[in-house]
Structure 1
Amino acid sequence: MDVKIKDSFFDDPETTTFWVNNGLPNQDQILQMQDSMYIQKENEFCKRTLGIQNHYLLYFKKQTAQKWVNLDNATIEYVKHQSVGLGIRISKHKQCFEFFGDVEPWYNYLRQYCVQRNFSQSYTLLKKIGQGNFADVYKATNKMDGAEYAIKCFRKNKLKENVDRLSMIKEISIMKKIQHESVIKLYEVYEGDDCLYLVLEYLRGGELHQFMKKSPPFSEEKCSKLIFRILKALYSIHQKGILHRDLKPENIMLRNKDDLDNICIGDFGLADYYSPSGQYLFTRCGTPGYVAPELLQDKLYDFKIDIYSVGILMYILIAGKSPFDGKDYDDVVMRNYYAKVKFEDCKLTEVGMNFLKGLMNKNPIQRFSAEEALNHPWFATENSNKACQFKIRKQNYVLKKLGHCELQIKQFSAISTQFSPKSSLSSLSPYCMTKYNLDESPQTPNSPSAQFAISTPRTPGMCKLRPVRRSQFNLKQI
């Protein structure tokens, strides 16, 4: 069958092969799906056994997996043949593979990893609710069940440079990998001729930033409950080897209006997998006034840069102002660079002040980790750990240090059936990798390095957006 394959934004221009014939995935792991399918060979159809192991499609011969393909960001679509009926076409690197049979359960599993076509068949865009340099965000409904979603629409002609493609691939990979109640959910990815569509959960409550503007400074008890929820999410993110790198009130959302008990971390446009050698797609990034000093100082950094950002947020919640307030932008950068903080402006109990200084310690070695912070007596005093029902392993050395004072089916066309993202038979995979960490653990990805200070403005994938200044850090001026 002659097939014309559309170019895909996600194709690697340096790769032209579809199947990998060596280094098979771990065959001892359980297959999520396995079945005999019809494959066309030399104008005839024959039966072959296929299997799915996480995000790999395996091709079997005589009960042995002969070859495989990584399905991350491959394109998937339904096809129909007059002889064998409904099938699936998977395209990657301008190559494709088709199989036919009982494919509907396969499609609804594979779409959590793959990129789909025909966005307009599944969703109706209602109104624009946000705008940025690269993307617009729309409120939309699913045509099958009417459920509401936020659609982050990236204009492909704005993503021309290779670094933009790599950044998009990484952002999607990271969002698919994180499954936590306090992290925005990515359900599906679509690609059209002009745009990429990220289907995200619709958050009605707006930004924490907007809530704080109309709210007086938080009480210590109210602050502790919010900070605890953010640290819970960060602990999960860090456990997966991921740094957020842009935590601030604009990127923390409320699922419902004025409901601080249901917050959500969003915008992973600057997130990356931790690299001990400091090899990141963007090395110096974030928002001055909300970042750790070691990031501005061009030093190696780790997960604790996010902890420092949580400390800044806590300071703002209690004091009602930024710890790095300055007369202009350069003054803010300088204060942030040297970590000049007037802790006396925060009215806290002794244990609360100990906690804040542990989060904002300018020495990252002495700064709390997410786990250490969650076990701090400040949360025990406020009973937040019981209220949130969060249990985490206690470490004696930590406590000692603290003691010393530190989818219903619907047919969209003659050949297309699929589930709504929220009612899908299979949940999103908790583990999704790009080619940059396929052969290595998430803690040591082979990410491209950036030689210069690079910033990529992005719009948060959520129900409300506001323009955010992400600046290049010219360290020679400091």
Structure 2
Amino acid sequence: MLIGNDQNFQCNQLLQKDSIFNDGKALWINQDYDSSKPIDQQRFKIELDSKNKIKQLTLYEKYIRYSQHVKSTQINQKIILFENSFLDLVHNQQNKLVGFRLVKYDGSLTIIGECKQWIKMLKKYVIQSDFSRNYKITKKIGNGTFADVYLVKHKHTNKEYAAKIFYKKKIILEDKELLMITKEVQITRLFSNPNICQLYEVFECKVHLTLIMDLLAGSELVYSLKLGGLSEIQSILIIKPLFQALQLLHKQGIFHRDIKPQNIMLHQSGKLETACLIDFGLADFWNHKSEYLFSQCGTPGYVAPEILLGHSYDFKVDVYSLGLVLYLILTGKEPFQSKTIEGLIEENTYGHIALSHLNLSPNCLDFLQKVLAKSPNQRLTSQEALIHPFLLFGPGNHLDLIHNKMQSPEQYISKSQQFRKSVASLRLQTDTSNNQLNQRDIFKKNELERKDIKKQFSIRKVKL
């Protein structure tokens, strides 16, 4: 029986100890863990401490229940915490997959049996070493200070992904960058939603750290905008799924803190409803003490004022940032116009955005005012935004619903159905006309200025 190959396996044992994902958590714990719903239950052959036994294992999202003993009123469970353990696939002499091995600093466990589905579910949470065995690099599609992004193809399924490859020599020297990466992985593992960029696998060796993620073929949002902005219905196609994504994040106690046009991409070119949030490098878990890796952070021109002012803040900072993106979508203009970082920060901190002159429906104008309220107390939450008349009914004037002047249920259903038909019609139009959203049409008059601003916007950490 073979585990990868002997050289790679020895490398794995060394790497788990020195892995940047070594969180100090043991492979085994004895306690009543949590009551989440089990995914699957099977009998396997277990190889442990040179002994073989048949055990019934139960798979949960982040752990495997190895055994359970009931003593009086207490339940004592032996749990395998596989998150951030190293995964090695076990093959027989005929190179047939027969099992897998989990390795952490405190021990290892080999599981033999029909395990393809288990491995598929584990891959999101474990660390692997055999990137080149599974993927072929096609071409470079992006680059940054610490990582390059490549188009890769899975050798067995031919499915294409984006591989974000970090150079460990660079990130190990930058403590905060290292923590940002591990937190980004921790957060993106929590979600399987089309409007949040998906993480599928993590590979690590002595030289590289590789994240296998969604390939978003539709480019950044800014390249899908028309000169002068989009219609209100078109803007809803983009914004509503993103507010739904925010609601999922916020329910898990997470804020993104770097929402901007460059961090919104489309799965498919021209299909606005496929908008997806990317880059969770500044995302974090909200806490009462306001203790974060970065407290004042974001991109000048798209940051909530309370962050720039150094005040305590909550999930509504994301609502404000997405509100600024909506302003850009509707008008084709940046909400703050200064061409210097200092000027952008000053305008952004002051937070004054003229809206009354915009030719918008009452629904849309009210929505913008409430998501862009400078005071967090007056700003909508992501959940409240989703039930605002603008996202429920589209353009028009249904603000009486906000003030509990609800119309009859028949009228409510009728208006909602009419709006859904309008959206469906618009989707059909965007599917059949590539010219409507040609990425080369956007902002031609200010192209040079925008390139300059975009370079400045690449600065992620704001220090006042």
Same fold per TM (> 0.5)? yes
Corresponding residue of 1:32: 40
Other structure's SS at 1:67 match: strand
- The counterpart of 1:376, out of the listed 369, 382, 388, is 388
**Shift in CA distance, 469/193, structure 1 to aligned 2, threshold 3 Å:** same
| Counterpart selection for 2:22 from 3, 9, 12 | 12
Larger RCO, structure (CA 8 Å, separation 6 or more): 1
Residues 1:251 and 1:60: Cα distance change in structure 2 (over 3 Å) = same
2:271 is aligned to: 259
Shift of 1:171: 0.9
What is the count of residue pairs matched by the alignment?
398
Amino acid at match of 1:469: S
Counterparts of residues 352-431 of structure 1 (less than 5 Å): 352-382=364-394, 399-400=402-403
2:181 counterpart letter in structure 1: M
2:459 maps to 1:470: yes
What secondary structure sits across from 1:217 in the alignment?
A: coil
Deviations 1:194-218 (A, max 9, x none): 1122111211110012223x53322
Contact 1:208 1:249 survives alignment (8 Å): yes
TM-score (norm 2): 0.77
Match of 1:297?
A: 309
Q: 1:16 to 1:280 in 2, by over 3 A?
A: closer
Closer, same or farther in 2 for the Cα pair 1:220/1:24, shift >3 Å? same
Indicate whether 1:73 and 2:84 are aligned. Answer: yes
The match for 2:298 is 286
Q: Does 1:249 align with 2:261?
A: yes
Amino acid at match of 1:399: I
Distance 1:291 1:199 in 2: 29
Aligned to 1:58: 65
Matched to 1:78, the amino acid is: L
Q: Does 1:100 align with 2:112?
A: yes
Matching residue of 1:204: 217
Shift in CA distance, 297/127, structure 1 to aligned 2, threshold 3 Å: same
When normalised by structure 1's length, the TM-score is 0.75
- Which residue identity lines up with residue 107 of structure 2 in the other structure? Q
Indicate whether 1:165 and 2:178 are aligned.
yes
Deviates more, 1:1-10 or 1:295-304: 1-10
Residue 214 of structure 2 corresponds to residue 225 of structure 1: no
Overall identity of the aligned pairs, in %: 32
Name the amino acid aligned to 1:6: L
Distance in 2, Cα, partners of 1:94 & 1:170:
23
CA contact (8 A) 2:171 2:177 kept: yes
Q: Give the deviation of 1:149 after TM superposition.
A: 1.0
For residue 180 of structure 1, report the CA deviation from its aligned partner. Answer: 1.8
Match of 1:193 in 2: 206
Q: CA deviation at 1:27?
A: 6.2
How far, CA to CA, are the matches of 1:341 and 1:27 in structure 2?
Answer: 48
CA deviations 1:289-339 (Å, max 9, x no partner) are 001000111111111101101111122222322222114210110111111
Q: Which has the higher helix share?
A: 2
Q: Secondary structure at the match of 1:178?
A: coil
Gaps of 5+ in 1: 385-395, 404-464
* 1:311 corresponds to 2:300: no
Distance (whole Å) between structure 2 residues aligned to residue 380 and residue 174 of structure 1: 29
> What letter corresponds to residue 402 of structure 2 in structure 1?
L
- What does 1:441-460 correspond to in 2, within 5 Å? none
Instruction: Name 1:351's counterpart in structure 2.
Output: 363
Unaligned runs of 5+ in 2: 407-453
* Residue of structure 1 equivalent to 2:147: 135
SS of the residue corresponding to residue 174 of structure 1 reads helix
Looking at structure 1, the residues matched to 221 and 36 of structure 2 have their Cα atoms a distance apart, in angstroms, of 46
Q: What do residues 267-299 of structure 1 show as CA deviations (whole Å, max 9, x unaligned)?
A: 111111222321222212110100100011111
RMSD: 3.1
Structure 2 counterpart of 1:421: none
**8 Å contact kept, 2:240–2:391:** yes
Aligned mates of 1:11, 1:352 — CA distance in 2: 45
The residue matched to 1:288 in structure 2 has which SS?
coil
Give the partner amino acid of 2:29. Answer: V
Q: Which residue of 1 aligns with 2:410?
A: none
